[in-house]
Amino acid sequence: MIDLKINQELNNFSSFNGIDEAFLPIFINKYLKLNNKLFLVLKDDKQLNEIESLISISNPNCKVLSIPAWDISPYDNSSPNKVLNGQRISTLSSLVNNVFLDDELVILTTFNSIFIKTGDGLQIKKDNKEWLERLLRLKGFDAPKIESFIDQLIDWVDPDNQPLNFGAENYFYIGPLSPINQYTPKRLLSNLSEIKNFPVLDQIDFNKISNNLCVLPGISNQLINVNTLNNTHKNLIASFFDEENLEFIESQILDAPENGYDSANEFAKKITQSVSWPSQVLSINSKTLLISSKIYNQTFSNQLDSLVILENSNSAKVLNRDFSF
């Protein structure tokens, strides 16, 4: 059943996203039987090395080229690692000169390799940092863990290699204490699971800290529709309004008009009389949607999750698709 389903998908699509790690070997072998070229973007260098070894064992006749991530930012004061530089040049040279034109070929790279932040650096908005600090405090995290998480988050995305007080940069992530052995991506998160790489996550439950957090690639200002709130969002709303009384926030969320609010201001006035409520994050319109499609039968199931942004009344753009078995 799995074989049949994969073949059907391969015949209908030229690109795939979010393939479960457990099914990657099956996917690669099935794909190469139908097409002798495969470009695979993996989550990190550790997975790249694992897949490279797996292919060499399961399909020794297949040629494998890898494009590792840079270990520095553009215009950094230091030079890139010579081994990484040489490997990238060798791979690109082989592709330009069609060295493996008639061979089975798999090209491996990572998110960190194809996305890299340039420019003067990432600007951390004061309000956003304060909201995140309050949200984590309301979840019950103590001050050291909150400061560690935020510093490590900033270090993960900023363009420099200078760690903050409780942060971590390349020296940690490529060192013996890190299980991932990769460089910091120096870009905004593409998936929330990236925070699992932070050393502070050894002391924090991922499910607890990730609740009410999300990653929306390419969107700098996400609005929250107050007409879609429920009691699971009380910590989030309380952090925006700097309100410690969660029971009060929950009661206001549940006491919504039957037909919804006519404006975000109507909702905000129930919580505060201040004119400085966070209007930049609250709205009565939804701009992003998560659409889930599931297929079941007696022995098999799969799911396609599509993250969609509504650009205007007549168009929508798919930000991300995750396909899983």
pLDDT at 102: 73
**How far is 4 from 255, CA to CA, in rounded Å?**
50
Range with the lowest mean pLDDT among 128-132, 154-158, 185-189? 185-189
pLDDT at 140: 94
Handedness of CA 234, 207, 45, 144 (dihedral sign): positive
**How far is 264 from 280, CA to CA, in rounded Å?**
10
Tokens of 54: 């797996």
Tokens of 192: 């929330």
**How far is 17 from 40, CA to CA, in rounded Å?**
10
221 has pLDDT over 90: no
pTM for the model: 0.64
pLDDT at 196: 93
In 3D space, the residue among 257, 270, 310, 265 whose CA is nearest the CA of residue 283 turns out to be: 265
pLDDT at 107: 87
Q: Which residues contact 93 (CB under 8 A, 6 or more apart)?
A: 99
Tokens of 111: 């998110």
In 3D space, the residue among 252, 213, 245 whose CA is nearest the CA of residue 230 turns out to be: 252
SS3 271: helix
- Encoded amino acid at 207, one letter: N
Q: Where are the alpha helices (DSSP H) in 119-165?
A: 126-138, 143-157
Range with the lowest mean pLDDT among 239-248, 278-287, 316-325? 316-325
Tokens of 324: 């899983």
Q: Which residues contact 301 (CB under 8 A, 6 or more apart)?
A: 294, 295, 325
**Rounded to the nearest 5°, which phi and psi values hold at 305?**
-105, 120
**How far is 319 from 29, CA to CA, in rounded Å?**
28
Range with the lowest mean pLDDT among 31-35, 83-87, 258-262? 83-87
- Residue predicted with more confidence, 282 or 159: 282
Mean pLDDT of 58-82: 67
pLDDT tens readout for residues 92-109: 887 777 777 777 888 888
**How far is 321 from 44, CA to CA, in rounded Å?**
19
- Residue predicted with more confidence, 283 or 33: 283
Distance, first Cα to last Cα, the chain = 11
Q: State the chain's mean pLDDT as an integer.
A: 80
Answer yes or no: are the C-beta atoms of 325 and 302 closer than 8 Å: yes
Please report the domains of the chain, with CATH numbers, ordered by start residue.
2-114 (3.40.50.300), 126-210 (1.10.40.60), 224-283 (no CATH)
Mean pLDDT of 132-139: 94
Tell me how far CA of residue 218 lies from CA of 128, 161, 215, 306, in angstroms.
17, 24, 9, 15
In 3D space, the residue among 65, 112, 110 whose CA is nearest the CA of residue 88 turns out to be: 65
pLDDT at 31: 80
